[in-house]
Structure 1
Amino acid sequence: MTLAISTDRLRGSGPWSSVGPLTPEDREETSRCLAVGLSNKEISGHIDRNESVICREIARNGGRERYRAHAAERRAEEDVAAQKRGNWTATRPCMGEFCPDCG
């Protein structure tokens, strides 16, 4: 099985060349790159994002083995909706310093 990985997006001039939320296309490209075993650094070059953005995206959406673009996009949309409603903690009860397990 051969997966096509887009190489038409060139790395920008800085580590944060693309700003704003990840797009559905970014998530799909991340998923394809994971499927062929690329590292977070290699993925970040493909979608022109900082490596830490990729690391967090993968971690919050099931890890390298379970990451699925459509599920990640759905979760991102739910998070945006929760933020707009003002109940962010309802969708993400673990809030770092406020959580004894994390803080």
Structure 2
Amino acid sequence: MISLYKKLQQEREFVISNQILRSGTSIGANIEEALAGQSKRDFTAKMSISSKEARETKYWLRLLKESEITSIGVDSLILNIDELIRILTSIVKTSQQNLTKS
């Protein structure tokens, strides 16, 4: 995401690049917070935020691709974010189920 941000900045695309940087880096930051969570509920909440940020990042990547405001290819990033969304969704669902069992 940071590399894409830098490329977009070089092309003088500032709005979407800032959005992608913000949401894309928030994914990892919230995962790190989840891993240091004070409770199972805290872990689940932070992972849920990561999942939402991943979905937002996918939105910005799709918008970037479909708007054709740049020639930078983002297809592989969209595939990667799709996989990450699936992983995070699975983690959140499992964590929520474990919360109800406790």
What is the TM-score with the length of structure 1 in the denominator? 0.29
What is the TM-score with the length of structure 2 in the denominator? 0.29
Structure with a larger share of its residues in helix: 2
